């Protein structure tokens, strides 16, 4: 059974088509880059998989079942925005995650937050946006999930933070799980990817193994992407 399968996903807002006939299969144990320029439908697809948007057509299957309580138990999702109740302290948020996610490892989260030298009795509203994003990443990666979906985790961060984020992802994702990372900053992450999906104007135009692609085109993923979408 495939971990994630999208069958003919379509999404439009009014007359505007955002996604068109997305067919996609994600196996276990892979790190997959969902690559595309801004506004090409990456986030829309991710939101549909996470039940935040309702597809106009087609269906999403997680472990063969439609999205719902079971899929949410095994998918750990990092949105591209800060989404926690900012009046909560970090301790409270940890409590919240412990309450709702059976697979949340609170000790691990505390350990990772201690590495950041973060005072967990602090309210989120008292922290910088960058720190809030790190807290979110730590929470998401502290779940023993089967599928991690990270939407633009590298958007607008400095190189040091970028290294921290990639490190945290690599060293914490559950063994045997898959990771989907959406980004338009390809050169930063291509070395950790197994597979890439190029998405443009709401369609998947390429889905390939990274190393095969490099060998075939004799170029980096970043370069191949640039060639395809030369503006």
DSSP assignment string, 39-102: TSSHHHHHHHHTTSS--SEEEEEETTEESSHHHHHHEEEE-SS--S-TTSBHHHHHHHHHHH-T
Residues between 59 and 88 that touch another protein (CB under 8 A): 68-70, 72-73, 75, 77, 79, 81-85
Residue with the two structure tokens 């087609």: 58
Buried b / exposed e over 202-216, threshold 16 CB at 10 Å, is: bebeebbebeebbee
Region of 111-119, 126-134, 163-171, 199-207 interacting with another protein (CB under 8 A): 163-171
Residue with the two structure tokens 């060639």: 227
Residue number, 2 or 222, with CB nearest to another protein: 222
Residue 211 touching another protein (CB under 8 A): yes
Beta bridge partners of 204: 199
Q: Work out the angle between the directed axes of helices 159-172 and 106-115 (0-180°, nearest 10).
A: 150
Site size toward another protein (CB under 8 A) is 49
Residue 162 touching another protein (CB under 8 A): no
Among 23, 119, 167, 205, binds another protein (CB under 8 A): 167
Beta bridge partners of 26: 4
Quick note: the x/- pattern for another protein over 170-209, rule CB under 8 A, is: xx---x-----------x--xxxxx---------------
Region of 106-114, 154-162, 167-175, 199-207 interacting with another protein (CB under 8 A): 167-175
Q: Which residues, in sequence order, are CB contacts of 143 under 8 Å at separation 6+?
A: 76, 97, 101, 103, 104, 105, 174
How far apart (Å, rounded) are the C-alpha atoms in residues 14 and 12? 6
Residue number, 49 or 199, with CB nearest to another protein: 49
Beta bridge partners of 57: 10
| Cα–Cα–Cα angle for 37, 42, 47, rounded to 5 degrees | 155
Region of 18-26, 34-42, 43-51, 153-161 interacting with another protein (CB under 8 A): 43-51
Residue 52 touching another protein (CB under 8 A): yes
Residue number, 14 or 64, with CB nearest to another protein: 14
Among 5, 96, 123, 201, binds another protein (CB under 8 A): 96
Which residues are at the interface with another protein (CB under 8 A)? 13-14, 29-31, 47, 50-54, 68-70, 72-73, 75, 77, 79, 81-85, 96, 99-101, 166-167, 170-171, 175, 187, 190-194, 210-211, 214-215, 218-223
């Amino acid at each position: 059974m495939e971990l994630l399968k999208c069958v003919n996903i379509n999404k439009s807002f009014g007359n505007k088509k955002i996604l068109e006939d997305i067919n996609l299969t994600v196996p276990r144990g892979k790190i997959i880059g969902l690559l595309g320029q801004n506004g090409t439908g990456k986030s829309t697809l991710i939101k549909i998989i996470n039940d935040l948007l309702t597809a106009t057509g087609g269906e999403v299957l997680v472990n063969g079942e439609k999205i719902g309580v079971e899929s949410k138990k095994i998918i750990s999702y990092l949105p591209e925005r800060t989404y926690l109740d900012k009046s909560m302290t970090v301790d409270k948020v940890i409590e919240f995650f412990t309450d709702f996610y059976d697979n949340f490892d609170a000790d691990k989260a505390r350990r990772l937050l201690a590495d950041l030298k973060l005072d967990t009795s602090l309210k989120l509203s008292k922290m910088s946006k960058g720190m809030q994003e790190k807290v979110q990443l730590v929470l998401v990666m502290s779940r023993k999930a089967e599928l991690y979906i990270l939407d633009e985790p590298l958007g607008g961060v400095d190189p040091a933070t970028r290294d921290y984020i990639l490190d945290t992802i690599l060293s914490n994702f559950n063994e045997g799980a898959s990771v989907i990372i959406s980004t338009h900053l390809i050169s930063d992450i291509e070395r950790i990817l197994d597979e890439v999906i190029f998405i443009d104007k709401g369609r998947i135009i390429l889905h390939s193994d990274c190393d095969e692609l490099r060998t075939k085109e004799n170029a980096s993923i970043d370069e191949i992407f640039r060639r395809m979408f030369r503006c």
